[in-house]
Structure 1
Amino acid sequence: MAEATAASEALPEVKPGERHLILVDGSGYIFRAYHALPPMTNPEGVPVNAVYGFTTMLSQFLTRHAASHIAVVFDAARLNFRNEIYPEYKAHRPDPPEDLIPQFALIRDATDALGVCRAQLEGFEADDLIAAYAKAYLAEGPGQVTIVSSDKDLMQLVRPGVQLLDPIKQKPIREPEVMEKFGVTPDKVIEVQALAGDSTDNVPGVPGIGIKTAAQLITEYGDLESLLANAEKIKQPKRREALIENAEKARISKRLVTLDDAAPLPCPIADMAARPPADGRLEAFLRAMGFRSILARMGKLGDGAEPSRRGGTHHAVTHAPAPGPAAPDLAVPFEGYETVTTEEALARWIADCLAAGVIGIDTETDSLDARRAKMVGFSLATAPGRACYVPIRHGGEVDMLTGPAPEQIAPERAFALLRPLLEDPTVLKVFQHAKYDLEVFAREENGGFTAVAPVDDTMMISYAMTAGKHGQGMDELSVLYLNHAPIKFDTVTGTGKARIPFGQVPLDKATAYAAEDADVTLRLWLLLKPRLREETALALYEQVERRMVAVLRDMESAGIKVDGAELARIGEDFATRLAVLEKQIHALAGREFNVGSPKQLGEILFDEMKLTGGRKGKTGAYSTDASVLEDLSGQGVELAARVLDWRQLAKLKSTYVEALAAQIDPVDRRVHTSYGMAGTSTGRLSSNDPNLQNIPVRSEEGLRIRRAFVAEPGNVILSADYSQIELRLLAHLAEVPTLREAFAHGEDIHARTAAEIFHLDPGKVDKEARRRAKTINFGIIYGMSAFGLAGRLGIPPAEGRSIIEAYFAQYPGIRQEMERCKEEARTNGFVRTPFGRKLWIPDIAAKDPVRRAGAERAAINAPFQGGAAEIIKRAMVRLPRALKHSGLTARMLLQVHDELVFEVPAAEVEATSALVKDIMESVAKLRVPLSVEVGTGQSWAEAH
């Protein structure tokens, strides 16, 4: 949370006797603080992460910048005079997060405790008060006004004596910066905003006119009224019509964006004189909030002495606590780490961690499976190059190879010292892949650590910004961002038969490896966390990705019950059917052979049966992959069709029936999948060990496997599935009125498409026409070619092309959206979901046309898959809290693409179904409604 220190050019130099007013945009600080820090609570259990961040930022700002007067300006309420002008103004903005609402009053208390005047007034926005104070202050006499905000709406106030200060970059915003942003001088900003509008605030503007065009028009005509008076002279027809038709909207927009510098002043300017906090008030506030790390920086953890204050002239805003250290040097060597083997040394490190406020932390274990892993040791980092390793289970039995166990702290003693730090709400614990480490801590003996908070995850911070661009492993991130290749695990443990457990690695090597991990993690956080805002990924990370860590941990821990006896019956049936299929295949081939051997199958198909289309690979064997067999099957080759059936059934038997049986936990008789959070290019989750996301949805075999997933006695399985979510996102993004109308009225979208594409009477669309339309609808989203569509529908390629052309002729907005996605990828290297997440498309500029075509298809589909992934993640974050708040005890067990699976007490089914459906349908506001289908049953198959 530290502000940048290199700000000498940011504020005008203030000499003794000169007047300088600093006006801090309180709302900007609040939301920045809220999104920058994970959830934390004070001793009374009240959320305080925004309070902590606000207090830290404001106190550090005050110690670094001189002023004679200062105030923090807050919004008083959502409604103000602008809503009387235009009721839709900011009407679409969501309510503040639930855990932020109780913090508003505490933030005002923090402002008072810091000795800073605060201003707010019902009926006016903070921006109006800032405008009024700036005008009134300069009217009293010569001076300077600095507005601490990067809000573009405040740029209209820039003039001699008034500037903005970007609180993140610590750079001034003066006339050149305004010109760069709006293309006009500050006095013309409101004219440009009136034309361009602002979707964030629901300011309508003139449709089709953006900032660049608006700046050109205002530069040419001088102001809005002059432009509107000459609108009929505009040469471009669309622009001319838009200006004429929306003239009144533009005038309303100008009134909405113009700040009221005549607003009443809620507190006199004299009360804004800079002063230190009242004796003892700040320390009392910090203690009441439990802000130990700030108290530690003040040196006040143990006694009741007054806070230390920074000296200076009477013009300086001299507040405690003192600022934190300057920005850390990330280039310090990765060496000099300490091995901690005594309780005294560990206590010293923990005290350093409390004072640091942000630490890197990592665990070393004996397994990659978090549910079975046992901790061998842990590492801590308080600053770049400042890290340690704490062994707790190294060595063990004395033998000829390892010798006696080295000196180390007993696990129970180490954890007793560590627990207060892990549970301290004022110390941010930074992990790389936090879900794994938190599970390891939670499953520790002696009660485990289930309240580790607050937490950040460098893997997910990076993934929020770079999905699809590169891998998210620590080693790869370290090379990419720190230009440092960490020590490899194989280097310290050996490989193959010579590999030793990490617990047997000599402590000097173990320390170099483990402490470096914590050091790298902290350095990555210091480098990457500030970039989240720059990459417009802060809200995605804070509100979705970070919160998913706890959600997925709970789901993985819960698991889902599997009926072993039913699995065995399914396995026997599949084995019988495989034997029958094998006999049929041998009969069709004219001889027996190993059906599972691609080489033998290729010889039969292309050498013995003389079928065309055979392609040999580098090994000299024919390719018999699925695409080859599907082509042959489409030509009527029954042998190829039967082999495809055999392969699918054999895969289901080995991957699910046999693997699931082996992975049933012997204690709770449940299967516990592990969710991969950062492995896909679209933001979707993956499921591993076992993979429960690839069970066929509509086949009879897939349905049978789902019958083995059952509820505990007294409970039922509840399935909640988003209906046609990607098509709804297509209707949201593309300008297709008929699709939006169909979804709005709950029509059968595939039947509607069939009627329009094939020119049928809506009441006479048969199953075959609907099936074709469904294939087209989903195929278009995946960028399917005419050849691919023809193959799916079993028609000639020429007919496939004519169908696609008819589709785009009926829905031109879809083609335009597809071309927009491809162009965005070519220009930027990424596309965005409807919610702003960047999804990188690395091969979009590939020279290989095949790779490039694949990247273009990915660019078309990514916004829909990525948008769907974000919607269901938002629901997953909200549902556990909502269920608990409603007194319901249902557990969320699985996420499978667009579906969530719960285990629900039979008595709570109705209430849970209603709540789940309501939340899932309300987590995102699209131009078409979201729809969720809910089903229940004793098994997953019955509920689906």
Structure 2
Amino acid sequence: MKNKTLLLVDGSSYLYRSYYAMPNLRNQSGEPTGAIYGMVKMMRKISQEFNPDYMVCIFDAPGKTFRDELYPDYKAQRPPMPDDLRVQIAPIYETIEALGWTLIAQEGVEADDIIATLAEIARQNDVKTIISTGDKDIAQLVNEHISLINTMTDERLDREGVKHKFGVYPEQIIDFLMLVGDKVDNVPGVEKVGEKTAAKWLEQYGSLDNLIQQADKLTGKIGENFRQAIPQFALTRQLITIKKDCELPETYRQFDQLVPKAENQEKLIELFNRFGFKTLLREVSGDKDAIPTEYAHQDTLPEIPKEVHYSMVTTPEALMMCLTKIQEADSVAFDTETNSLEPMKARLVGLSLSIAVGQAWYIPLAHNSAGLLDEQLDKTQTLDLLKPWLESDKPQKILQNAKFDAHVLANEGISLGGVKHDTMLMAYVLASNKKVSLEELASRYLGRKGLSFEEICGKGASAITFDQVPLDKATQYACEDADFTFQLAQVLLPKIEAYEGFKTIYALEMQVWPVLYQMERVGVKLDEQELKQQSDDLGKAMMALEEKIYTLAEQPFNINSPKQLGEVLYERLKLPILSKTNSGAPSTDEDTLTKLAADYPLPALILAYRSLAKVKSTYTDKLPRMIFSGTGRVHTNYAQAAVVTGRLSSSDPNLQNIPVRTEEGRRVRKAFIAQEGFHIMSADYSQIELRVMAHISGDANLQKAFAEGKDIHRATAAEVFGVNLEEVSAEQRRAAKVINFGLIYGMGAFGLASNLGISREAAQNYINRYFSRYPSVAEYMESTRSKAHDQGYVETVFGRRLWLPEIQGAKGPRKAAAERAAINAPMQGTAADLIKKAMVAVQHWLREQKLASRMIMQVHDELVLEVKNEEADRVREYLPRLMSEVAQLAVPLEAEVGEGDNWEQAH
């Protein structure tokens, strides 16, 4: 008969993991909820995975334990529990019990002792125990009845597993920990004895007692340290040994009391509503439309209709009625359904329209499942009829991601006009840190959930395209899209109009999307032969590096395998282990290899090899395959509502991440060319974020340097190092450049020291001198930190609101990172606003002048144009002027122009 199983969860271990792993989640009342959410997910997952016969979650109780009496400094170095975590303890206890777990937190002993006692009782009753923890101390409990599971790494330890991980068996773990100590609990070990030495000694001598008896055989300083530590061993053994005989209430000794209970659904619904856990609320309630109270009751929430009227348009009479109504309406929500999500390839399958809450029509045009063709209107005739309305400039259309729909219609020969609102851009302006999909927005602002794309099309290899969806389901889905979009515009518009900054930025974003659409539509021409040659050259360079790598490694191996690379670096060559992965393996990531490369040649070669491989696989091999056959060009997609700071991001292909610091990366740009009769022109804002800093901070010295047209890095060097401008050395200018850019990214003394290769003291002196010369910059940084903490956001010069959810309540490194982001976000966000304004201005001028030249790329602070040769003089003259005049800052804006046969020459 199969043994029954007891599952014991170290709740205190889970607690801290959840708190530090989850983002700084808060409900509508501002209560922190991240640790609660993490605990719920972990507890539900592990109980479902193991389906135990008995299960208990054990926490450390507040107050002192017997170990504190033995050793007053026990755990003295542990920082106090963060306030944001402390306030989540009570609701965590409440939630775990509602999930059906028995919960124990007993004063006077630690969670480990209760776990050991329950495991011992289980052994006596022939019950197998699984302990879920990340605490290595508990490894001492492992035997044929007890095993460990670490859910963060999915590591499972039986007796042999403990030996493999620590180098000693479970029965030796206490001796092992007495030798190495426990820094977390402030338990002293033997000075200079690490895990490898401790494991080697215990393998040789068997136990600490045997080692003590032969202590005189240990030579050198480490032997002296061991002998000096012997008197403390009696104490450390008591501190490290986990008790297996705690006095527990009789309830917990009767295993029939530890059987998993049914989830308290009513209580969980109440709690998940309070915490704002949307997905969990739907799961536990079984109601796919369930929305937490904080999402379902917004001030401007339109009344949800008691019934909806969704219709399928399949007759000429119905189409004419629909057309008449949309022509007369003030606002029409409009959406396309397609057979693809690739803008240049997507073909129209159907159209949905809504002019009132709860009312929508779907016009199917190209569903091709068996028997559907006869039920639909003729696509060509229908589009001919709708084309005048679709192309009308009358501002009445409301869309969710209008840029995509414009591409879809263009593929059908229709030029979309009259876009009044884009709900995706509205939501992005209001909260750029949150998702902006229609499904997410409907849930957040309407308290509505419709059919999901996966529900009707499936996912993975078995997924179907929308043109294969049955008409009844397609109608429901498409009409919901139009209906929800119509409602969202009603909810979001008052929020936009409530604040001048929102109105300004939304107006800008609505001007930007048609510019991006045109750029995407035009695409970029590539020199395929050039890319092929580059791929060949990169392949040869990689082969040459391989030979050098194998020579240094003294053997061939798979360079792309972290496991094999780790074996070569750390086991064969004995390089120092600087960091480890989550699974405990020595790391071979880029940061680690970069540090090792300072002293060892092989890591440097590996980094060089990876750099070449990335350029080859990502660009020279891949770009030719992405050329669209219909145009002979590549057509990237600019995500307008994806980056918190307002920056654009590019994908399929990503044209913004082509390396510029390596020769190979720069060479890729050589393959970006113009069509015959044109050439490439590039205009790049000069030191835009530093100029924004000068404007925002109001620092007189910084503004003066820009106003006088000085080399800003040379001017900063003169200020920081106290020398005349003409006397600034190249090294001083380089250091000043690092300081200038580092400080606007929130860099501290440690980062500056690392970057410049100097001591932290010297770096701090540089920073102090910088701030003494530019005092308003220091004041700006301090006031920005304070405002960000108070408000939870910062703003750009033009009113774009940049939310920083991590800034409030975060501690330690997370707090520092959030503060760095707060300092930099106004600069980066304002730079994003400026380049968007420039795109709009340049596009307007090109159209007004009726020029054939056109913008083809936007990369960070740079605009790239394909310029007709005969128009070059005019564009060269006006382009920097247009870019510099988009805003009046306290310092002049400057744009530098270059041109050539390809992007590399122009840049």
TM class, shorter-length: 0.5 to 0.7
> What is the aligned counterpart of 1:828 among 775, 783, 791?
791
CA distance change for structure 1 residues 540 and 585 in 2, over 3 Å: closer, same or farther? Answer: farther
Task: Output one character per residue of 1:477-510: Cα deviation in whole Å (capped at 9) or x when no partner.
Answer: 1111111222111101122333222112111111
Amino acid at match of 1:642: L
Inter-partner Cα distance in structure 1 for 2:766 and 2:533: 45
Aligned twin of 1:405: 373
- How far residue 449 of structure 1 moved from its aligned partner, in angstroms, is 1.4
SS in structure 1 of the partner of residue 621 of structure 2: helix
Aligned twin of 1:356: 329
Inter-partner Cα distance in structure 1 for 2:421 and 2:356: 16
1:437 aligns with 2:410: no
Q: Does the Cα contact within 8 Å between 1:464 and 1:537 map onto a contact in 2? A: no
Amino acid at match of 2:755: R
SS in structure 2 of the partner of residue 926 of structure 1: coil
Aligned twin of 2:263: none
Inter-partner Cα distance in structure 2 for 1:826 and 1:865: 19
- How far residue 627 of structure 1 moved from its aligned partner, in angstroms, is 1.5
SS in structure 2 of the partner of residue 371 of structure 1: coil
- How far residue 809 of structure 1 moved from its aligned partner, in angstroms, is 2.2
Aligned twin of 1:485: 449
- How far residue 711 of structure 1 moved from its aligned partner, in angstroms, is 1.4
- How far residue 390 of structure 1 moved from its aligned partner, in angstroms, is 0.9
Aligned twin of 1:114: none
Matches within 5 A, 1:334-413: 335-395=308-368, 402-403=370-371, 405-413=373-381
Aligned twin of 1:529: 493
CA distance change for structure 1 residues 866 and 559 in 2, over 3 Å: closer, same or farther? Answer: same
- How far residue 405 of structure 1 moved from its aligned partner, in angstroms, is 3.0
Task: Output one character per residue of 1:72-117: Cα deviation in whole Å (capped at 9) or x when no partner.
Answer: xxxxxxxxxxxxxxxxxxxxxxxxxxxxxxxxxxxxxxxxxxxxxx
Inter-partner Cα distance in structure 2 for 1:724 and 1:581: 37
Amino acid at match of 1:863: P
Bigger drift between 604-613 and 687-696 goes to 604-613
CA distance change for structure 1 residues 498 and 707 in 2, over 3 Å: closer, same or farther? Answer: closer
Q: Does the Cα contact within 8 Å between 1:616 and 1:622 map onto a contact in 2? A: yes
Q: Which runs of 5+ in 1 are unaligned?
A: 1-326, 397-401
SS in structure 1 of the partner of residue 631 of structure 2: coil
Inter-partner Cα distance in structure 2 for 1:814 and 1:846: 25
Task: Output one character per residue of 1:343-380: Cα deviation in whole Å (capped at 9) or x when no partner.
Answer: 21121122222232101111110111010011111101
CA distance change for structure 1 residues 412 and 403 in 2, over 3 Å: closer, same or farther? Answer: closer
Inter-partner Cα distance in structure 1 for 2:323 and 2:505: 28
- How far residue 932 of structure 1 moved from its aligned partner, in angstroms, is 0.6
Aligned twin of 1:804: 767
- How far residue 759 of structure 1 moved from its aligned partner, in angstroms, is 1.7
Amino acid at match of 1:582: E
Aligned twin of 1:126: none
Amino acid at match of 2:777: I
- How far residue 395 of structure 1 moved from its aligned partner, in angstroms, is 2.0
Aligned twin of 1:466: 431
Amino acid at match of 1:584: K
> What is the aligned counterpart of 1:700 among 660, 663, 673?
663
Inter-partner Cα distance in structure 2 for 1:537 and 1:376: 38
Aligned twin of 2:150: none
Q: Does the Cα contact within 8 Å between 2:753 and 2:763 map onto a contact in 1? A: yes
Amino acid at match of 2:467: G
Aligned twin of 1:414: 382
- How far residue 629 of structure 1 moved from its aligned partner, in angstroms, is 1.5
SS in structure 1 of the partner of residue 309 of structure 2: coil
Q: Does the Cα contact within 8 Å between 1:921 and 1:929 map onto a contact in 2? A: yes
* RMSD of aligned alpha carbons: 1.7
> What is the aligned counterpart of 1:601 among 565, 589, 604?
565
Task: Output one character per residue of 1:302-321: Cα deviation in whole Å (capped at 9) or x when no partner.
Answer: xxxxxxxxxxxxxxxxxxxx
> What is the aligned counterpart of 1:454 among 419, 422, 425?
419
Matches within 5 A, 1:729-748: 729-748=692-711
Inter-partner Cα distance in structure 1 for 2:474 and 2:416: 28
- How far residue 687 of structure 1 moved from its aligned partner, in angstroms, is 0.5
Task: Output one character per residue of 1:31-53: Cα deviation in whole Å (capped at 9) or x when no partner.
Answer: xxxxxxxxxxxxxxxxxxxxxxx
SS in structure 2 of the partner of residue 530 of structure 1: helix
Matches within 5 A, 1:24-43: none
Task: Output one character per residue of 1:237-295: Cα deviation in whole Å (capped at 9) or x when no partner.
Answer: xxxxxxxxxxxxxxxxxxxxxxxxxxxxxxxxxxxxxxxxxxxxxxxxxxxxxxxxxxx
Inter-partner Cα distance in structure 1 for 2:748 and 2:374: 64
Amino acid at match of 1:430: I
SS in structure 2 of the partner of residue 382 of structure 1: strand
Matches within 5 A, 1:553-632: 553-632=517-596
Inter-partner Cα distance in structure 2 for 1:706 and 1:497: 36
Inter-partner Cα distance in structure 1 for 2:632 and 2:888: 40
Amino acid at match of 2:398: V
Q: Does the Cα contact within 8 Å between 2:519 and 2:857 map onto a contact in 1? A: yes
Inter-partner Cα distance in structure 1 for 2:663 and 2:720: 31
Structure with higher helix content:
2
Inter-partner Cα distance in structure 1 for 2:403 and 2:472: 28
Inter-partner Cα distance in structure 1 for 2:736 and 2:454: 53
CA distance change for structure 1 residues 919 and 751 in 2, over 3 Å: closer, same or farther? Answer: same
Inter-partner Cα distance in structure 1 for 2:900 and 2:353: 48
1:679 aligns with 2:642: yes
Matches within 5 A, 1:181-260: none
Aligned twin of 2:781: 818
Task: Output one character per residue of 1:115-146: Cα deviation in whole Å (capped at 9) or x when no partner.
Answer: xxxxxxxxxxxxxxxxxxxxxxxxxxxxxxxx
- How far residue 695 of structure 1 moved from its aligned partner, in angstroms, is 1.0
Q: Does the Cα contact within 8 Å between 2:534 and 2:620 map onto a contact in 1? A: yes
- How far residue 404 of structure 1 moved from its aligned partner, in angstroms, is 5.0
- How far residue 534 of structure 1 moved from its aligned partner, in angstroms, is 0.9
- How far residue 715 of structure 1 moved from its aligned partner, in angstroms, is 1.4
Identity %: 44
Aligned twin of 1:867: 830
CA distance change for structure 1 residues 600 and 761 in 2, over 3 Å: closer, same or farther? Answer: same
CA distance change for structure 1 residues 936 and 334 in 2, over 3 Å: closer, same or farther? Answer: farther
Inter-partner Cα distance in structure 2 for 1:679 and 1:911: 35
Inter-partner Cα distance in structure 1 for 2:525 and 2:343: 19
Q: Which runs of 5+ in 2 are unaligned?
A: 1-299
SS in structure 1 of the partner of residue 851 of structure 2: coil
Q: Does the Cα contact within 8 Å between 2:693 and 2:827 map onto a contact in 1? A: yes
Task: Output one character per residue of 1:809-843: Cα deviation in whole Å (capped at 9) or x when no partner.
Answer: 22221111111221121111110001111011111
- How far residue 848 of structure 1 moved from its aligned partner, in angstroms, is 4.2
CA distance change for structure 1 residues 754 and 912 in 2, over 3 Å: closer, same or farther? Answer: same
- How far residue 603 of structure 1 moved from its aligned partner, in angstroms, is 2.5
CA distance change for structure 1 residues 328 and 757 in 2, over 3 Å: closer, same or farther? Answer: closer
Matches within 5 A, 1:56-75: none
Aligned length: 608
SS in structure 2 of the partner of residue 337 of structure 1: strand
- How far residue 406 of structure 1 moved from its aligned partner, in angstroms, is 4.9
- How far residue 884 of structure 1 moved from its aligned partner, in angstroms, is 2.8
- How far residue 541 of structure 1 moved from its aligned partner, in angstroms, is 4.1
* Structure 2 length-normalised TM: 0.65
SS in structure 1 of the partner of residue 415 of structure 2: coil
Task: Output one character per residue of 1:902-938: Cα deviation in whole Å (capped at 9) or x when no partner.
Answer: 0111122111111111110000100000011001101
SS in structure 1 of the partner of residue 807 of structure 2: helix
- How far residue 738 of structure 1 moved from its aligned partner, in angstroms, is 1.6
Q: Does the Cα contact within 8 Å between 2:524 and 2:634 map onto a contact in 1? A: yes
- How far residue 772 of structure 1 moved from its aligned partner, in angstroms, is 1.2
1:901 aligns with 2:864: yes
Aligned twin of 2:741: 778
Amino acid at match of 2:360: A
Inter-partner Cα distance in structure 2 for 1:722 and 1:450: 32
Inter-partner Cα distance in structure 2 for 1:486 and 1:788: 48
1:920 aligns with 2:883: yes
Q: Does the Cα contact within 8 Å between 2:409 and 2:416 map onto a contact in 1? A: no
